[in-house]
Structure 1
Amino acid sequence: MDPLLLGALVAIFTVVVLFSGVSVALGLLIVSAGFLIVFDGMRSLELMPEILFGKLNNFALLSIPMFIIMGASIASTRAGADLYEALERWLTRVPGGLVISNLGACALFAAMSGSSPATCAAIGKMGIPEMRKRGFPDGVAAGSIAAGGTLGILIPPSVTMIVYGIATETSIGRLFLAGVIPGLLLVALFMAWSLYSTWRSGDAAALTARSYSWRERVEILPRVLPFLAIILGVLYAMYGGIATPSETAAVGALLCLVIAMVIYRLWNPADLWAVLRDSTKESVMILFIIAAAGVFSYMLSSLFITQSIAEWIGTLDVNRWVLMGAINVFLLIAGFFLPPVAVILMAAPILLPIITSAGFDPIWFAVVLTINMEIGLISPPVGLNLYVINGIAPDIKLKTILVGSLPFVGCMVLAIVLLCLFPGLATWLPDLVMGPRI
């Protein structure tokens, strides 16, 4: 059978299996095993266990559970509430300072936790009721938190970036640095839209806030500064050549647990067990998807599907930006239905040779891909952040949350356009800190 036609069949069957309700990892294994048996015979299954476990034989994978523990220990405390309150106290005199406080808190908490749902839950529980109480429209209140939560997969340390680095054999340190400026750009765009939306609504109550004394502003800082110091310390250790990403993640996870125990009195063994249990569950889920995606990639390569698709696209006489536009549409659609980790692991083996042959930088592309995945987190039908916000504020209709999130989707699209026009936004900082790539 023609490899391109076979690739179309694989895509159709993969969509059908994943929509049947099975887990992503199990679905990839089912599709891989089925096509290998039909087109390569039963003997091809002998290599599956070796590929499955061999994909996990990577020291860099240790950073995933460590960063997850780091985020889980923070998410299990009042760190999100304290971070939100600290920013509110310092920005209270800024016009529209409350919405800026929420977005700033989302950005900082996302950097500490690396989890979009955790960011939405931690900041939204305090931020949404407070914004609504002061007169902000429900759409702005809910949409800003839903969009701010997506920053968790872009601002370092990011588990999504780690997965991309492992899947494409790209430097994780460079990927982390590449997400810094685009992440700050998104925060700025989100804040700009929120302020414009608040001003346009003409609601004076939304622009008023209580006053805080300098003592009230300073007294809350000791609760949040240690976590911020850990983030800066992790990044310094990583880029200062002191430790590898995996070693840095382990130290960061230990320090976050210690601070959670000392500052937030997380002494109860049941609470500590919950942190480790939930971190283990999430880590196993991600690692299982990575292993299954390795088998899926082997199947695509063994049946010459990957090579044929790359060769076919290479023969197309189209502008490379038209090609990139088509890739972005594909990623958007995939992100609507699948989690970011699954999309990266399934698409990276196919897209990487295509983008490199078209002259695109794989570090730059990682940022573009991640922003596409962010859009998927606040887009139906699977937009996870929308349902997290709906769980926090059930009296706000899902439609209102979605409508409130759409302008932020526009901000993300604008960020992708700016990255296409100015790729240095993603590549300048990695080259400055780690030197140009040879």
Structure 2
Amino acid sequence: MSPLAIGLLIFVVTIALLATGMPIAFALGMTALGFMIVFDGWNAIHFVPETVFAGLDDFTLVSLPMFIIMGAAVASSRAGSDLYEALARWLHRVPGSLVISNIGACALFSALTGSSPATCAAIGKMGIPEMRKRGYDADLATGAIAAGGTLGILIPPSITMILYGIASETSIGRLFLAGVIPGLLLTGLFMAWALFLSWKRGTKLVDADRIYSMKEKLELLPKLLPFIVVIVGVIYALYGGIATPSEAAGVGAMLCLVMVIVIYRVWTPTALWHIMRDGLRESGMLMLIIGASILFGYMMSSLLVTQSVAEAIAEMQVNKWVVLGAINAMLLVAGMFLPPAAIILMTTPILMPVILAFGFDPIWFGVILTINMELGLITPPVGLNLFVINGITPDIKLPTILKGSLPFMGCMVLAIVILCIFPELATWLPQTLMG
């Protein structure tokens, strides 16, 4: 059997196992182990422990649980509600102000937590009822939060970027920097659409004449500024050469815990236990997936599948943008069924040789891939953010939420096109600050 035929069989078996609802780590691990035994014999089992533990023996991985705890601490407090309320007061007189405030709150909160579902839940619980109460249509209110929540995997610090950096062996610091301008671009596109649609529909706000005093506008800032300062400090420590990603993540997690305790009085043993429990649960899940994906990648390489796919694509007499379009289509389809972590760890070892063969920048491609993962979060049938929003507002039907999300999907596709035309939007900042 040729390596390409083996690769097709591996793809079918992996998708079949995932379709049963089996945990991602077990599906990847069982597929890898099964094919290694079938094609290399039982002696292949001897390489399993060494391969998995050698892959996990990476100090960079320490940053994952630290950033997760950092996000869990912030998500456990009222920071999301305060952030939304502060922006709503400052932007009150702007057309579509409440939707724009929610999208801005999603962007800032996602930078604090790095989690799309957490951003949707934290901002949506307060933002969606307020938008509906003040006259905004249900589809726009829910679609804006579903799309805004996806910014959590693009704006640094991003767990998705860390996973891509590990899988592609690229600099996590450069990836974080590369996500800044595209993240702002995507946020701006979301806000522009919200403003346009609110103006087109002539949304009548029930309290449009209300005026907030300067005291009301400023009173929430003392609670929020310390968290923003921590994010800026973590980013500065990374790019100023002061600390490694793991060290910066550790300091950031500790500071966020302290501030949550001091500012929001989240100090009871039960509350702190929930933060640690959630952080440990998600960290353990990601580590299992990473370990299984390392074994999966080793199996693909040992059976020459990765090399054969890269060689076959590189030999195709087609324009490199056609290849990139096909890769984007494949990632979009995969994102409809699988979570971002699984897609990145499964596909990056195969796609990276192709990307390099066609002369694409792997840092730039990391941003393109991440935006594709954002699309998957609001694309049925397994669009996680759609179901999070539906859980927050059970009286709004899923088709209505999907209808509101569709224009924001168009904004994401437009962002990918813009980044293809102007790749410097992703590469300029890392090159300027890090050389």
Query: Per-residue displacement from partner, 1:313-341 (whole Å, max 9, x unpaired)?
Result: 11110000000000000100111111111
Query: Per-residue displacement from partner, 1:38-85 (whole Å, max 9, x unpaired)?
Result: 111010011111111221100000000000000000000000000001
Partner of 2:57: 57
More deviation, 48-57/401-410: 48-57
> Within 5 A, what are the aligned runs for 1:36-435?
36-205=36-205, 208=208, 210-435=210-435
More deviation, 408-417/211-220: 211-220
Q: Which amino acid aligns with 2:297?
A: S
Q: Which amino acid aligns with 1:59?
A: F
Distance 1:428 1:165, change over 3 A: same
Normalised to the residue count of structure 1, the TM-score between the two structures is 0.98
More deviation, 202-211/248-257: 202-211
Query: Per-residue displacement from partner, 1:116-135 (whole Å, max 9, x unpaired)?
Result: 00000000011100100111
Query: Per-residue displacement from partner, 1:323-375 (whole Å, max 9, x unpaired)?
Result: 00000001001111111111010000000010111010000000000000000
CA contact (8 A) 1:77 1:260 kept: yes
Q: Which amino acid aligns with 2:345?
A: L
Q: CA deviation at 1:204?
A: 2.3
Moved over 4 A (4+): none
CA contact (8 A) 2:332 2:376 kept: yes
Partners of 2:75 and 2:267 in 1: CA distance: 15
Partners of 1:84 and 1:397 in 2: CA distance: 24
CA contact (8 A) 2:150 2:374 kept: yes
Structure 2 SS opposite 1:205: coil
Q: Which amino acid aligns with 1:411?
A: C
Query: Per-residue displacement from partner, 1:381-403 (whole Å, max 9, x unpaired)?
Result: 11000000001110000010011
CA contact (8 A) 1:97 1:207 kept: no
CA contact (8 A) 2:95 2:198 kept: no
Partners of 1:51 and 1:330 in 2: CA distance: 28
Task: Name structure 2 gaps, 5 residues minimum.
Answer: none
Q: CA deviation at 1:207?
A: 8.6
Task: Calculate the aligned-residue CA RMSD, in Å.
Answer: 0.9
Partners of 2:199 and 2:395 in 1: CA distance: 25
> Within 5 A, what are the aligned runs for 1:23-42?
23-42=23-42
Aligned residues with identical type, % of pairs: 64
Q: CA deviation at 1:210?
A: 2.8
CA contact (8 A) 2:336 2:380 kept: yes
Partners of 2:184 and 2:209 in 1: CA distance: 25
Partners of 2:315 and 2:29 in 1: CA distance: 31
CA contact (8 A) 1:198 1:206 kept: no
Q: Which amino acid aligns with 1:282?
A: E
CA contact (8 A) 1:386 1:402 kept: yes
CA contact (8 A) 1:146 1:405 kept: yes
Q: Which amino acid aligns with 2:346?
A: M
Partner of 2:18: 18
Query: Per-residue displacement from partner, 1:212-232 (whole Å, max 9, x unpaired)?
Result: 111111111101000000000
Partners of 2:210 and 2:399 in 1: CA distance: 31
Partners of 2:319 and 2:207 in 1: CA distance: 47
Partners of 1:208 and 1:405 in 2: CA distance: 26
Partners of 1:331 and 1:295 in 2: CA distance: 21
Distance 1:432 1:36, change over 3 A: same
Partners of 1:95 and 1:299 in 2: CA distance: 55
Partners of 2:205 and 2:65 in 1: CA distance: 44
